[in-house]
Amino acid sequence: MDAVTWETFHDCLLQGRLQACHAFLDGVHAVESGTPRYWAGRANTHYRASEFTQALDLCLKIGNDSPGYINHRYLLTDACAQLGMAELGRAELTRMVGRASLHPGIEAQIFAEGWAPLGLDKEILALEPGNSCGDLNHHVRIMVAAQSQMRLHGIASGLSAYHESYCTPAAWNCMYPQFDTGNYWNGQKALPRVLKLESRGGIGDQLQWVRYAAILACAGVHVELNDWNPEVLQLLPADRDEFAPLLAQQGYHLGHSDEPMWSDPFTLFSALFPDFGYAARSRYVSSLPACQETELLNQIRASAAGKPCVGLFWSANESPTTFGGRSLKLQQLHELFAMQDVHWVIFQRGYQRERWLDDSRSRDTEHFTMLPLTLSFSSSIALTGGLDALVSIDSGLLHGAAAMGTPAILLANHAAEWRWEKHPDTTPWYPEMFIARAPFLGGWEEAAGIARDALRRQFRQPSNTGLPLAPGP
């Protein structure tokens, strides 16, 4: 392994080399310990280890010692979201911004983005809409406010503002000027004969919104899915008899030009939701059989000895973004691990995988299977299709399993992401999904208990089809 430097520090965090990061910080302590960069590095290393209390303490130290430093702002608010400390996060962010002498538009953007994981939607919507600091600041502020509107009042209530701020040529020219928007499809009724779908956002976003590509195909559009793995996953066609007449009724038709156009998953969603809503299907993605997944499934079923096989993924702290507010710690899963009549299939990656392997339960092959690191992400999604259920945080794995029709349980913080709206335990996006939503911010053990109860209801059913995950009357 190469030595850690400040230039490679962030990459090492994402690789899960946290001991190496701590060792690097130990080595530069004498020179760097008076700088906020040093303490932000310490805080980030604790954060990536799911040591959220230690990370938060260091963020507060930075606020006291280095007024005006704000680079740790989202680390602070995300740790507060995980720990259920919304008021502390709000107060500290306010104090931090107040001492930084920023443009009012930048202040508003920082507040909106920092308050979002804390669930402070009413406060975000109350921010002064004027005083933007350039086009980018303007677009981002409108987009974040639209997300709060959608989380509070449903997708339809904020969709128009979201589309205008994020999914128009003006938005793309501002946020991603390297793209040529001349052939950008963003809802035009005249459809291209060939539409190239570019990646944008995470894999989960692509898997959720690709459902709309199947609808456009019903009008004769040939959709090319860039960054898609056709060897493992494939998009299932939508019902042409259902959607072709609907497309015609809404005025969609094939244009006369043969020139291809391009779009992205978010644009498909924001442009087509007004006409087609959630476009929910129990299954719109399938996997092609592969020897590795088949062999693994056979091994898992043999180890389970007749017990239901349930996948589990609990932390996304290896993600490049701050996802601690939507992640659990290993010790918060005890309500699930107490289920002796379930065989758990562990999908965890990154540092939390190492923590699991250090746990004595990881060697209990009667109740647990640890998947190999050699299993690709696409193959991991394909594998969920052979399991009885998946319990997961908001992740690409969750969206992939749900798109394939696998009964899925979302472990969600009380302030879940905007796409889940305020539905208490179900979602129109995925008929086979149950939301185990924490009853209060940071109520992760309660969320795990809700997921446990949902699994018990599921496996009581003689047919074991995965329903009902929601409580009965």
Q: Calculate mean pLDDT across residues 273-296.
A: 88
Are 281 and 356 within 8 A, CB to CB? Answer: no
Number of CB atoms found within 10 A of residue 18's CB: 21
State the SS3 of 399-442: HHHHHCCCCEEEEECCCCCHHHCCCCCCCCCCCCEEEEECCCCC
pLDDT of 298 > 80? The answer is yes
The predicted-structure confidence for 222-233, as pLDDT tens digits, reads as follows 999 887 755 568
Contact 413, 81 (CB under 8 A): yes
Instruction: Please tell me the chain's helix, strand, coil percentages from 3-state DSSP, rounded to the nearest 5.
Output: 50, 10, 40
Domain's final residue, options 174, 195, 228: 174
Same domain, 40 and 152: yes
Residues 161 and 185 in one domain: no
Q: Are residues 221 and 163 in the same domain?
A: no
Domain final residue pick, 252, 279, 306: 279
The answer to which of 162-171, 180-189, 218-227 has the lowest mean pLDDT is 218-227
- DSSP assignment of 199-247, as one string? --S-HHHHHHHTHHHHHHHTTT-EEEETT--TTTEEEPPP-HHHHHHHH
CA pair distance 358, 267, nearest whole angstrom: 43
Q: State pLDDT tens for residues 26-51.
A: 999 999 999 999 999 999 999 999 99
Q: How far apart are CA 81 and CA 322, in angstroms?
A: 11
Residue 427 is predicted with a pLDDT of 96
What is the predicted pLDDT for the residue at 314? 97
**Do residues 347 and 421 both lie within one domain?**
yes
Query: Does residue 124 fall inside a structural domain?
Result: yes
User: Mean pLDDT over residues 331-345, rounded?
Assistant: 96
Helix 291-304 crosses helix 377-384 at what angle (to 10 degrees)? 50
460: amino acid identity, one letter: R
Please tell me whether residues 261 and 324 are part of one structural domain: no
Are both 237 and 305 inside the same structural domain?
Answer: no
CA dist., res. 14 & res. 323, Å (int): 12
Instruction: Say if residue 120 is in the same domain as residue 81.
Output: yes
Give residue 291's pLDDT. 66
Q: What is the pLDDT of residue 424?
A: 85
Average pLDDT over residues 279-292: 84
Q: How far is CA 32 from CA 251, 268, 432, in A?
A: 63, 47, 51
Amino acid at 354: E
The neighbour count for residue 261, using CB atoms within 10 Å, is 20
Q: Measured between alpha carbons, how far is 426 from 434 in angstroms, rounded to an integer?
A: 5
Q: Of the ranges 9-13, 195-199, 302-306, which is most confident?
A: 302-306
* 88 and 124 within one domain: yes
**Residue 281 pLDDT:** 93
- Residue 470 inside a domain? The answer is no
Q: CA-based angle 170:120:448, to the nearest 5?
A: 110
Residue 275 lies in a domain: yes
Q: Is the pLDDT of residue 462 over 60?
A: no
Three-state secondary-structure class, residue 184 = strand
Question: Angle at Cα 113 formed by Cα 126 and Cα 350, nearest 5°?
Answer: 150
What's the predicted TM-score (pTM) here? Answer: 0.94
Please give the residue range of the domain that contains residue 308: 293-460
Alpha-carbon torsion (431, 297, 398, 448), positive or negative:
positive
Q: What per-residue confidence (pLDDT) applies to 463?
A: 43
Is residue 284 assigned to a domain?
no
Question: Is there a single domain that holds both residue 352 and residue 248?
Answer: no
Percentage of the residues of the chain whose pLDDT score is greater than 90: 83
Mean of the pLDDT values across residues 377-389? 92
| Selection from 39, 87, 33 nearest residue 60 by Cα | 39
In this structure, the number of other CB atoms found within 10 A of the CB of residue 373 comes to 7
- pLDDT-derived band at 130, boundaries 50, 70, 90: confident
Q: Please tell me the predicted confidence (pLDDT) of residue 287.
A: 85
Percent of the chain at pLDDT exceeding 70? 95
Calpha distance 69→73 (Å, rounded)? 9
Whether cis (ω within 30° of 0) applies to the bond prior to 468 is: yes
Residue type, 173: N
> DSSP string spanning 15-77?
TT-HHHHHHHHHHTHHHHTTSHHHHHHHHHHHHHTT-HHHHHHHHHHHHHHSTT--TTHHHHH
CATH number, domain with residue 394: 3.40.50.2000
Q: What residues contact 194, with CB distance under 8 A and at least 6 apart? A: 221, 222, 224, 258, 260, 261
Instruction: Give mean pLDDT, residues 134-162.
Output: 96
What pLDDT score was predicted for residue 467? 42
Q: Which residue has the higher pLDDT, 466 or 65?
A: 65
Q: Are 365 and 304 in contact (CB under 8 A)?
A: no
- Mean pLDDT of the 323-338 span: 94
pLDDT value for 319: 79
pLDDT value at position 468?
47
Supply the pLDDT for residue 14: 87
Residue 473 pLDDT level (bands cut at 50, 70, 90): very low
- For position 289, what pLDDT does the model report? 67
Residue 415 has pLDDT above 70, yes or no: yes
User: From the centroid of its chain, how far is CA 100?
Assistant: 31
Domain contains 247: yes
Question: How many domains would you assign to the chain?
Answer: 3
- State the pLDDT at residue 317: 81
331 inside domain: yes
- Going by C-alpha positions, the residue among 271, 136, 249, 126 that lies closest to residue 195 is 271
Domain final residue, candidates 248, 279, 310: 279
What letter does residue 252 receive in the DSSP assignment? Answer: -
The closest alpha carbon to 97, from 67, 126, 117, 121, belongs to 67
pLDDT digits (tens, 9 = 90+) for 438-456: 999 999 999 999 999 999 9
Ordered DSSP codes for 263-321: E-HHHHHHHHHHHHTT---S--EEE---HHHHHHHHHHHHHHTTS-EEEEE---TTSSS
Mean pLDDT of the chain: 92
Q: Are 204 and 398 in contact (CB under 8 A)?
A: yes
